[in-house]
Amino acid sequence: MESAEPTTEAESATEAESAVDTARAQLERAAAHLDVDDGIINRLRHPSGVYEVSIPLKRDDGTTEILTGYRSQHNDVRGPYKGGIRYHPEVSKDECVALSMWMTWKCAVMDIPFGGAKGGVVVDPKDLSEDEEERLTRRLSQELRPVIGPMKDIPAPDMGTNPQMMAWFMDAYSMQEGETHPGIVTGKPPAVGGSHGREEAPGRSVGIIAEKAIDHYGWDITDTTVAVQGFGSVGAYAARYLDDQGASVVAVSDVDGAIYDPDGLDTNDVEDHDARPGMVSGYDAPEKLTNAELLELDVDVLIPGAIGNVLTGDNANNVQADMIVEGANGPTTSQADTIFERRDIPVIPDFLANAGGVTVSYFEWLQNTNRRAWSLERVHEELEAEMLRAWEAVKAEHEARDVTWRDAAYIVALHRVAESHEARGLWP
Ligand code: GLU
């Protein structure tokens, strides 16, 4: 039985860690393993620019509300900035900066020619009618137009945004430019240049990477139990993928709570949160749990696939899973990471595991550039090949240097980004 008491100073420090603190601490840890110029690390600690916009939104009742939006562009040394746009009441400038840093590492670990960006609007999407969503998205596209472009910065969906919004975003941009630019945004519906397989890609990649990790530790997937926090665009597809491979998914959740079946849930029978909100916690399962209880279930694999900062110094000692595969962006604080490292619980990092989203975004952008669609089979095949390539690169560092999976993934990504900076130099 693990001690519930923190044992080191790092583990017992009071935790008031913002996402950007976490992102910087992770960068510094990785930098310590590589011989990279301090000037480059310093540049990578900061975004190259953060744009703040005020978005006037005409509500259905005729009033005008001013919403705040951000776009953080962290790094574009390897190609155009890339990353999603979220609609969430807790969006902040700092959070966008951290998420844009993670996008830089995500694209680099996958070796796709994009940099890192992330944007968001401080709004609760549940408060918006469909017409309001459309007006907000079109106006946001217009406000960001000076800083985005198909070769400059390419947004995508994230929390609270969806393919339809990407279609409006693309339409507004294209109307202003006077020509159709499908490559301005990814995650569109296939009818306007979206890629087949884009919606399920982040969850699918979490499943593919979890399967590789299960295999790496010599476990049999058909004897593996899995708990997934969140049953939306990441969690539902990850759970279904692992269920299809023979794993037993014993718990899944939505914001209102979790359902638990020690014999394994039929993940195809549970409607996902995006399809019908409220249906997950409302599902007829043998047991209901809270989200906090789900995180502490005694399972083989825990997939936090909902929101950030859920595994912290407060609960990391109570986690009973033997492995964590991060589905959400930034679910583990550095303090929790330190505890998992001491407890020998491997944590497969977000920017490797959920990178299927941006990888299929890259495929989408290639299809848009070439004006030629790929079949779903081709997308699945190429995604799997890219995920396995990235997994092998990270595994090689993990084994050669005896570092955590997160450090190993950072080492792969940082090495690539730093090499590009070295080659391009600092101008002027
Ligand atoms: N928002 C997704 C992520 O966090 C996808 C980004 C993209 O496709 O550009 O990875």
Tell me the average pLDDT across 153-169: 97
The two structure tokens encoding residue 213: 């990790």
Distance of alpha carbon 388 from alpha carbon 314, whole angstroms: 34
User: Is residue 176 predicted with pLDDT exceeding 80?
Assistant: yes
User: Is residue 276 predicted with pLDDT exceeding 80?
Assistant: no
Nearest atom within ligand 1 for CA of residue 187: 8
User: Is residue 133 predicted with pLDDT exceeding 90?
Assistant: yes
Q: Which residues is 122 bridged to in the sheet?
A: 88
Distance of alpha carbon 357 from alpha carbon 349, whole angstroms: 15
Helix axes 201-216, 376-401, angle to 10 degrees: 40
Percentage of the chain lying above the pLDDT 70 cut: 96
- Spacing, Cα 306 to ligand 1 middle (Å): 14
Of the pLDDT bands very low, low, confident and very high (cuts 50, 70, 90), residue 140 is: very high
Ligand 1 touching residue 359 (CB < 6 A): no
Q: How many CB atoms lie within 10 A of CB 1?
A: 3
User: Is residue 371 predicted with pLDDT exceeding 80?
Assistant: yes
Pocket mutation for ligand 1, best pick of 358, 362, 367, 387 (most atoms within 8 Å of C-beta) = 358
Of the pLDDT bands very low, low, confident and very high (cuts 50, 70, 90), residue 275 is: confident
Tens of pLDDT, residue by residue over 277-302, are 778 988 999 999 999 999 999 999 99
Give yes or no for a contact between 74 and 100, defined as CB atoms under 8 angstroms apart.
Answer: yes
The confidence score (pLDDT) of residue 14 equals: 54
- Going by alpha carbons, the residue nearest to atom 8 of ligand 1 is 358
- Spacing, Cα 84 to ligand 1 middle (Å): 5
Q: Is 49 or 279 the better-scoring residue by pLDDT?
A: 49
- Spacing, Cα 8 to ligand 1 middle (Å): 35
Any idea which residue has 């505890």 for tokens?
339
Give yes or no for a contact between 285 and 265, defined as CB atoms under 8 angstroms apart.
Answer: yes
pTM score > 0.85 for this model? yes
Tens of pLDDT, residue by residue over 67-102, are 999 999 999 999 999 999 999 999 999 999 999 999
Nearest atom within ligand 1 for CA of residue 361: 8
Active-site residue (options: 118, 126, 188, 395): 118
The confidence score (pLDDT) of residue 283 equals: 93
178 alpha-carbon distance from chain centroid: 33
225-229 and 248-254 beta bridge pairing: parallel
Kindly list the distances between the CA atom of residue 103 and the CA atoms of 154, 199, 304, 373, 418, in Å, as whole numbers in the listed order.
12, 18, 18, 25, 15
User: Is residue 423 predicted with pLDDT exceeding 70?
Assistant: yes
Nearest atom within ligand 1 for CA of residue 198: 8
Pocket mutation for ligand 1, best pick of 86, 88, 103 (most atoms within 8 Å of C-beta) = 103
Torsion from C-alpha of 49, 86, 136, 173, nearest 10 degrees? 60
Q: In degrees rounded to 5, what are phi and psi of residue 102?
A: -65, -35
- Spacing, Cα 158 to ligand 1 middle (Å): 6
- Spacing, Cα 86 to ligand 1 middle (Å): 10
Distance of alpha carbon 227 from alpha carbon 319, whole angstroms: 12
Ligand 1 touching residue 407 (CB < 6 A): no
The confidence score (pLDDT) of residue 22 equals: 87
Q: Which helix (H) or strand (E) holds 258?
A: strand 257-260
Tens of pLDDT, residue by residue over 2-37, are 344 445 555 655 556 788 998 999 999 999 999 999
Tell me the average pLDDT across 96-114: 98
Tens of pLDDT, residue by residue over 348-359, are 999 999 999 999
Give yes or no for a contact between 194 and 166, defined as CB atoms under 8 angstroms apart.
Answer: yes
Q: How many CB atoms lie within 10 A of CB 427?
A: 4
The confidence score (pLDDT) of residue 277 equals: 75
Tell me the average pLDDT across 304-314: 95
81-82 and 301-304 beta bridge pairing: unpaired
Ligand 1 touching residue 188 (CB < 6 A): no
User: Is residue 374 predicted with pLDDT exceeding 60?
Assistant: yes
The confidence score (pLDDT) of residue 12 equals: 54
Average pLDDT of the chain is 95
The confidence score (pLDDT) of residue 281 equals: 84
- Spacing, Cα 354 to ligand 1 middle (Å): 9
Cis before 428? omega within 30: yes
The confidence score (pLDDT) of residue 6 equals: 46
The confidence score (pLDDT) of residue 27 equals: 96
Q: How many CB atoms lie within 10 A of CB 42?
A: 9
Find all residues with CB under 8 Å of 344, minimum gap 6, and list them. Answer: none
- What would the CATH number be for the domain defined by 46-192? 3.40.50.10860
Ligand 1 touching residue 364 (CB < 6 A): no
Told to judge if 126 belongs to the known catalytic residues of this protein, a careful annotator would answer no
Nearest atom within ligand 1 for CA of residue 186: 8
